[in-house]
Amino acid sequence: MRRLVTDTLVISERNLGRLRTAPDLLIAFTVQPVMFVLLFAFVFGGAIQTPGYDYIDFLIPGIIVQNIAFGGFVTALGLNEDVSKGLIDRFRTLPMARAAVLAGRTLADVATNLLSLLILLATALIIGFSFDAGVGEILAGIGLLMLFGYAFSWVFALLGLMVSSPESANSLGFLAVFPLTFISSAFVPVESMPGGLAWFAEINPFTIVVDAMRALWLDAPAGDAVWGAVVWSLVILAVFAPLAVRRYRLAAAR
């Protein structure tokens, strides 16, 4: 058990260490989300009606959830690379804890997610976002985002282990995550969508997480959204973590 913890930390450190030498990744974590916030806020902002909220206030929780969901992309790309370049073989011949390669990966995502979250929040506050929440709720929101992001990292871990190249991880990932985030309450009120889409948006876990964030940060009516978001995150984790671990064993045993 002690071995699992130290090995996981070593792998996390390795994955964070590579950010230094791969500046393009650092840009993906920092500049890109800021660009999205600015584009949405100022290009779409004037055209989208969000009754009860300024669009900036409405947008920020949604776009942060989207950004956090994409945070696990690094895991997909990195794992795919580790398998194709044979680094996984090296790890598997070392007397290290088996689970540490995946656990270390996803843990590193939490750190990078936190970094891009802080940059996004700073940007949001500069362009006029305001919390309607106490410190406790703000922190609870950050905690929920980290949990949701961590769960999603395992989805990407599975994706990265299943596809044959980083390019297909990229396009499949976008194919899956883009519709999920757009057909949700992240960017527009669900009521404005046509029937079928609205139905999907209602049951979409993204909607539930975004609604939970609005409840925590904007004092929006919560319903069961906060608990729903926690449960969804745990369910995603419980389903995808074992699948990814199993896939890791298979991929490594080729």
Partner 1 sequence: MTTTLVPSDPQEAAVPDNPDEPAISVRGLVKSFGDVRALDGVDLEVARGAVLALLGPNGAGKTTAVRVLTTLLEPDVGTVRVAGLDVVRDAGALRERIGLAGQYAAVDENLTGLENLVMVGRLYGMRRAAARERGLELLADFELMDAARRPAKTYSGGMRRRLDLAAALVARPPVLFLDEPTTGLDPRSRLALWGTIETLAGEGTTVLLTTQYLDEADRLADTIAVIDRGKVIARGTSDELKDRLGGERLEVRLAEAAAAPVAARALAPMSDEWPTTAGATVGLTVRGRDGTIVEAVRRLDEAGVGVLDLGLRRPTLDDVFLSLTGHVAEAADDEEGTA
Structure tokens at 115: 């970094």
169, 177 contact by CB (below 8 A): no
Dist. CA 1–CA 54, nearest whole Å: 49
Burial environment of residue 186 by CB neighbours within 10 A (0 to 12, 13 to 18, 19 or more): buried
Among the residue ranges 39-47, 81-89, 173-181, 242-250, the one whose residues contact partner 1 (CB under 8 A): 81-89
Residue type, 227: W
Among the residue ranges 2-10, 111-119, 209-217, 242-250, the one whose residues contact partner 1 (CB under 8 A): 2-10
* Non-local CB neighbours of 119 within 8 Å, separated by 6+ positions: 29, 30, 33, 34
Does 92 contact partner 1 by CB under 8 A?
A: yes
Dist. CA 101–CA 104, nearest whole Å: 5
Does 5 contact partner 1 by CB under 8 A?
A: no
Task: Outline where 127-186 has alpha helix (H).
Answer: 135-162, 166-182
Among the residue ranges 79-87, 146-154, 190-198, 216-224, the one whose residues contact partner 1 (CB under 8 A): 79-87
Tell me the closest approach of the beta carbon of residue 252 to partner 1, in angstroms: 7
Does 17 contact partner 1 by CB under 8 A?
A: yes
Closer by beta carbon to partner 1, 16 or else 114: 16
Dist. CA 22–CA 75, nearest whole Å: 14
Burial environment of residue 194 by CB neighbours within 10 A (0 to 12, 13 to 18, 19 or more): exposed
Tell me the closest approach of the beta carbon of residue 93 to partner 1, in angstroms: 5
Does 164 contact partner 1 by CB under 8 A?
A: no
Tell me the closest approach of the beta carbon of residue 116 to partner 1, in angstroms: 19
108, 15 contact by CB (below 8 A): yes
Tell me the closest approach of the beta carbon of residue 83 to partner 1, in angstroms: 11
Closer by beta carbon to partner 1, 85 or else 246: 85
* Non-local CB neighbours of 18 within 8 Å, separated by 6+ positions: 25
Does 180 contact partner 1 by CB under 8 A?
A: no
Given 26, 50, 53, 91, the residue binding partner 1 (CB under 8 A): 91
Among the residue ranges 27-35, 92-100, 177-185, 227-235, the one whose residues contact partner 1 (CB under 8 A): 92-100
Does 90 contact partner 1 by CB under 8 A?
A: yes
Q: Which of residues 95-134 bind partner 1 (CB under 8 A)?
A: 95-96
Name the residues that contact partner 1, by CB under 8 A. Answer: 3, 6-7, 10, 13-14, 17-18, 21-22, 85-87, 89-96, 252-253
